[in-house]
Amino acid sequence: MTASTTPTSPDDLAKALDGTGYLADAGLASAAFLALRMGRPLFCEGEPGTGKTALAQALSEALGLPMVRLQCHEGIDAAQALYDWDFPRQLLHLRALEAAATASQSALDVDAVESSLYDRRFLLARPILQALQDAPCVLLVDEVDRADDEFEAFLLEVLAENSVTIPEIGVVRAETPPLVVLTSNRTREVHDALKRRCLYLWLEHPDLARETAILRRRLPDLPAELADQVARAVQALRGLDLLKPPGVAESIDWAQALQLVGARHLDLASATATLGAVLKYREDADRARDKLDALLAS
């Protein structure tokens, strides 16, 4: 798929995503397709490691669009998300003008100097402004649940208008709205007003067949048997009632780790040696180690 063609059906889009190594199921493909065609942001929620962020990356690759990423954190504000003036450079510019005027013994035109200060070259475009300037593109607003409520309200405004007003310059509006993907880990419930603007996609861990396919896709050198065993073991681990059940990212890491230690198949020794790639809590590792025998036998 090239940048010029837009997908005509969810299947079409799924194929394009497949080409980038991202396996999308029917729901995911419909979600991305509808988001694209309806011009609505896509709000992805789900367990960590279910491929929310990867979806945005895959979309940008599949559609041939640039990706702009806005990582949210506590205390993020408009200046970090929208734009800021490059204050030191403005000052330098001013000093340079002053010096030039002194050298040439001429008077400075105050109005001209002032308007030259608010030139585009002194404007630092932060992710949202950049996305509006670069549109069409994919704008990933990552972990929006970490930002404050106030920021959410602000985001809502920008998403609704698809434009940003800079008092000194004017309105920056995107001709084609960027494809916005918001992700949330549900550490906090995002306000309904924001969700209402979006298509809502709840992502779950993939089933066995899909997980095997993902492993083989991401790690082409992985032996089929090992991929199958890893997927089975990870599925079983998710059923173990762990503090942090492994996501797809972890199973890919695990398979890669097994490959690196030269394991041809998953046995007790290789699994114990590489367990740190898939389980990140001591309690989880202990619990899994006890049941590893049964787990590998199944």
With respect to other proteins, which residue has the nearer C-beta, 42 or 292? 42
Q: List the beta bridge partners of residue 184.
A: 45
User: Stretches 163-171, 180-188, 212-220, 264-272: which one binds other proteins (CB under 8 A)?
Assistant: 180-188
Closest CA relative to residue 189, chosen from 218, 147, 225: 147
Nearer to other proteins, 8 or 272 (CB): 8
Contacts by residues 35-38 (CB-CB < 8 Å, ≥ 24 positions apart): 35/179, 35/180, 35/181, 35/199, 36/6, 36/7, 36/63, 36/179, 38/199
Token pair 């041809």 is found at 264
Neighbours of 220 (CB within 10 A): 7
Given 3, 92, 243, 268, the residue binding other proteins (CB under 8 A): 243
Classify 162 as helix, strand or coil: coil
Report the nearest approach of other proteins to the CB of residue 193 (Å): 10
Q: Compare residues 68 and 182 and give the one whose CB is closer to other proteins.
A: 182
Query: DSSP of 6-34, one letter per residue?
Result: --SSHHHHHHHHHHTT----HHHHHHHHH
Task: Answer yes or no whether residue 26 interacts with other proteins by CB under 8 A.
Answer: yes
**Least Å from the CB of residue 293 to other proteins:** 23
Find the length of the chain.
298
* Sign (positive or negative) of CA dihedral 18, 218, 252, 230: positive
In whole angstroms, the minimum distance from the beta carbon of 79 to other proteins comes to: 12
Per-residue binding string, other proteins, 37-56, x by CB under 8 A, is xx-x----x-----------
What track of x and - describes contact with other proteins for positions 142 through 161 (by CB under 8 A)? ---x---x------------
Which residues within the stretch 193-232 sit at the binding site for other proteins (CB under 8 A)?
195-196, 199-202
DSSP character at residue 177: P
User: Binding residue for other proteins (CB under 8 A) from 79, 92, 114, 186?
Assistant: 186
Site residues, other proteins (CB under 8 A): 9-10, 26-27, 30-31, 33-34, 37-38, 40, 45, 74-75, 91, 145, 149, 185-189, 192, 195-196, 199-202, 243-244
